[in-house]
C-alpha cells in the first residue's frame, strides 16, 4: 500500500537545526588490538557478561543483476565490538539477508531479504521480512501475504530496516525506475510483514544506512558523493521524520567514508556501518564508526570478509 507524502509531525527543520547548533559532546571510540571476549555457548544472542552484542551477516545475493536469482545465502556471526573481528560463526540463516535490526521490545532479530530471493533458480526461497533465531536460522514472518512485503507489482529492494524503542519498524529503498527520483520510505508491520510506502521523501541515497539513535532520532547515513564539477567529495547524514521519511536536518560527515547497513550502539550512540566494494572478489570489509551529531568518522578496523549487515543486540 502506498500513501502520498503528507506532513504528520509539527517539528520543522528549523527546530532541529537549533537543537543541533548546540552539538552533543563528542563521543569516544575505544579500541583494542586483541579480543578479550570468549566464545559463548549461551542460547541467546548476548553472551554472559557481555552487553550489548554486535552481530552481523556474511554473504549477499551474489548475482550479476539485482533481479537475478540469489546464488548465496547468509550466515549469522558474532563480532568483537572493540575490534570488529570475528568471535564466532553462529549459523546459517537459510536466506539472503539484505537488512538487519533488533527489536528490543520483543527481543527479536529481524531481517529483510534480497530481491533475488523467491525467484526461479534462487537458493533463497522468500523475499520479505524474516526473523532470525539465536542459532542463526531464519523464518518468514508471513510466508504467503508477506511476499515482497505485501507490495504488488515490482519487487522492492528494502535493504535497510530499523526498529525504534517502542517497537515500530521502518525501512527505505532507493529509486527503482527512471520515474523515481527519491527514496521510498516504508513502515513495516512485524506481525504481518506488510509494508506501507511513503514516496517523494526528498532524499536520494545509495549504499547507505538507516537507524534509530539516541532520543529515538532516525538517521539516514548516506555514502560519499563527488561533485562532478568541483570534484569535491562530501558525505551527509539526514535526520528523518519517522512518520514520512522526509528530511528534517542534514549533518555533514568527515572524512567522507562509506558506512552502509549499520546500526547505533545503544550505549555510546555511535553508529557502526560497513565499508566494502561491491563485487570485490576478496570481500574486504571495514567497520566505520560515526559520531553522527558531531559529524566525525573513525575507522574501527577490518572485519570479516563479505560482512554485509550489522545490528546491536541487547538482553
Q: What is the CATH number of the domain that holds 230?
A: 2.120.10.100
Domain annotation covers residue 190:
yes
The verdict on residue 141 lying in a domain is yes
Sheet containing 271-276: give its strands across: 260-264, 271-276, 285-291, 296-302
Provide the grid cell at 63: 548475482
CA distance 277 to 109: 26
Q: Does 180 map to a domain?
A: yes
Q: Does some domain include residue 16?
A: no
Average pLDDT of the chain, as a whole number? 87
The pLDDT score that the predictor gives to residue 288 is 98
In a domain, 45, yes or no: no
Q: Residue 122 has which C-alpha cell?
A: 534462487
- Average pLDDT for 34-59: 66
* Residue 23 belongs to a domain: no
DSSP 254: B
Residue among 49, 53, 142 at smallest CA distance from 104: 53
pLDDT of amino acid 26:
58
Residue 38 scores a pLDDT above 50: no
105's CB contacts (< 8 A; 6+ apart) are 163, 165, 166, 167
Q: What integer is the mean pLDDT of 254-275? A: 97
The model carries a pTM of 0.87
Q: Which residue range is the domain that position 160 belongs to?
A: 2-6+51-313
Q: Mind giving me the DSSP string for 66-77?
A: TTSPP----EEE
pLDDT higher at 264 or 278: 264
- Higher model confidence: residue 14 or residue 150? 150
Q: Is the pLDDT of residue 23 over 60?
A: no
CA distances from 87 to 83, 117, 135, 284 (A): 10, 28, 15, 17
Q: Of all helices (H) and strands (E), which one includes residue 170?
A: strand 169-173
Give 76 or 29, the one with higher predicted confidence: 76
C-alpha cell at position 118: 523467491
Question: Is residue 93 in some structural domain?
Answer: yes
Distance CA 135, CA 140 (A): 15
Q: Does the pLDDT value for residue 64 go beyond 90?
A: no
Instruction: State the pLDDT at residue 66.
Output: 78
Q: How many domains does the chain have?
A: 1
For residue 297, pLDDT beyond 80: yes
pLDDT for the residue numbered 33:
40
Q: Domain for residue 15, yes or no?
A: no
Amino acid at each position: 500500500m502506498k500513501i502520498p507524502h503528507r506532513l504528520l509531525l509539527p517539528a520543522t527543520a528549523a527546530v532541529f537545526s537549533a537543537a543541533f547548533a548546540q552539538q552533543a559532546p563528542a563521543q569516544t571510540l575505544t579500541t583494542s588490538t586483541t579480543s578479550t571476549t570468549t566464545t559463548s555457548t549461551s542460547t541467546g544472542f548476548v553472551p554472559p557478561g557481555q552487553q550489548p552484542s554486535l552481530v552481523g551477516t556474511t554473504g549477499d545475493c551474489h548475482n550479476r543483476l539485482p533481479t537475478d536469482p540469489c546464488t548465496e545465502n547468509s550466515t549469522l556471526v558474532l563480532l568483537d565490538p572493540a575490534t570488529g573481528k570475528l568471535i564466532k560463526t553462529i549459523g546459517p540463516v537459510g536466506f539472503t539477508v539484505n537488512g538487519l535490526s533488533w527489536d528490543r521490545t520483543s527481543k527479536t532479530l529481524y531481517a529483510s531479504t534480497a530481491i533475488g530471493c523467491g525467484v526461479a533458480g534462487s537458493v533463497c526461497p522468500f523475499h520479505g521480512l524474516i526473523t532470525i533465531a539465536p542459532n542463526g536460522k531464519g523464518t518468514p514472518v508471513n510466508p504467503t501475504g508477506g511476499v515482497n512485503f505485501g507490495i504488488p507489482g515490482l519487487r522492492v529492494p528494502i535493504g535497510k530496516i530499523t526498529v525504534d524503542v517502542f517497537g515500530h519498524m521502518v525501512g527505505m529503498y532507493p529509486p527503482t525506475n527512471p520515474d523515481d527520483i527519491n527514496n521510498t520510505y516504508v513502515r513495516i508491520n512485524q506481525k504481518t510483514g506488510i509494508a506501507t510506502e511513503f514516496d517523494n521523501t526528498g532524499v536520494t541515497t545509495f549504499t547507505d544506512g538507516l537507524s534509530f539513535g539516541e532520543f529515538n532520532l532516525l538517521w539516514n547515513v548516506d555514502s560519499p558523493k563527488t561533485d562532478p564539477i568541483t570534484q569535491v567529495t562530501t558525505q551527509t547524514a539526514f535526520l528523518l521524520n519517522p512518520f514520512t521519511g522526509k528530511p528534517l536536518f542534514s549533518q555533514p560527515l568527515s572524512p567522507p567514508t562509506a558506512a552502509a547497513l549499520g546500526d547505533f550502539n545503544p550505549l555510546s550512540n555511535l553508529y557502526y556501518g560497513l565499508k566494502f566494494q561491491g563485487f570485490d572478489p576478496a570481500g574486504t570489509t571495514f567497520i566505520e564508526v560515526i559520531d553522527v551529531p558531531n559529524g566525525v568518522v573513525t575507522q574501527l578496523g577490518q572485519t570479516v570478509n563479505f560482512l554485509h549487515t550489522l545490528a546491536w543486540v541487547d538482553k
